[in-house]
Structure 1
């Protein structure tokens, strides 16, 4: 397991936006996928739906991780690198600002189908859970089929978003390579702290989704904690508004993971 305690003075495994210019050579896969992401999230003509992510990008509060492994093996080197980076990010995120997120890009490979990417995401999350030395937060249910369940790492609840090359109609979940974004739960708690703030923010996101995607907003989108909402359904949205399948894990820890 990885030590997710105090960070050493070693260089961070991820980069800020301002770090990228001198670190990513033109034409590298890292620069290509980052430039695509930057163009999409900063477009003034076609506003990206996630207003929280846009704000984080504009203020350089996002951090970027580039993993050379394709992530086809969910328990291989990609999981090791991601676990180390996520543990450090969780420890440092509050110093980046109230809109911090970690965006992990994986080396492009064969374009797979939607369900293969969904399985890849869950395989990686399960691998991260096996590498997490911190106890599960007491306030977060261990069972995934609970309104208050959220993926947790290093003691921190984290919302996960998966983007893939297989997403066509749902452009808000499209990327030229497999990509995971980790948003600490406290980011949303600060932004959506009141009913009025939450209603205003969600309405703005949904308006942008209508203009951005080629299909209506997913029925699986919902507010955290609502009786009908399951966070795991929102991590990976399909490309046709079919109901999300059941989470493949009843629990997501090495000591108590139970495969459904």
Structure 2
């Protein structure tokens, strides 16, 4: 563990709560699956080189979780350039059973709520050269003066 950030290769499992262990184990299984390889090549390279970092936060419906997330992002931002070119921060939320029935649209709204909350907590101004409109092809999310890509796959539905 590194100030709340974990790696899959060297993190002491006894420091993780049960739900955190389960989330990390499922993620590792998905990234390690040889039968159904993970579709993002840079992510699989980062995983194999142990450059991914993992953080765990509380219930995504609670406002306090946005502050937890901001703390992890701040730590990650400070160290990310030293980790390697294939690094990414993976955040796992403690998800109550009641959220299993939520729609993709509800998860999307929650995602945007968290991005707005993070932006409100950011002590830096949004750079003038980066559009704030999420539909603008030149737009991107900015936090702590760093432009970043945010991906939030809410759930996976198996078809066929």
Shorter-chain TM-score above 0.5: yes
RMSD: 1.9
- CA deviations on 1:68-120 (whole Å, 9 max, x unpaired) are x21113xx111001001112211210101001111110112121221111111
1:47 paired residue number? 37
The 5-angstrom pairing of residues 1-260 of structure 1 reads: 12-24=3-15, 28-67=18-57, 69-73=58-62, 76-109=63-96, 110=98, 111=100, 112-165=102-155, 167-169=156-158, 214=159
- CA deviations on 1:39-89 (whole Å, 9 max, x unpaired) are 10121221110111111111111110011x21113xx11100100111221
Number of residue equivalences:
156
Q: Is the 8 A contact 2:9 2:50 kept in 1?
A: yes
Tell me, which stretches of 5 or more residues in structure 1 are unaligned?
1-10, 170-213, 216-260
Counterparts of 1:128 and 1:23 in 2: how far apart (Å)? 30
Counterparts of 2:15 and 2:45 in 1: how far apart (Å)? 23
Counterparts of 1:127 and 1:72 in 2: how far apart (Å)? 12
More helix by share: 2
Tell me, which stretches of 5 or more residues in structure 2 are unaligned?
none
1:203 paired residue number? none
TM-score between both structures, scaled by the size of structure 1:
0.56
Q: Highest CA radius of gyration, 1 or 2? A: 1
Q: Is the 8 A contact 1:65 1:105 kept in 2?
A: yes
Counterparts of 1:60 and 1:42 in 2: how far apart (Å)? 12
1:175 paired residue number? none
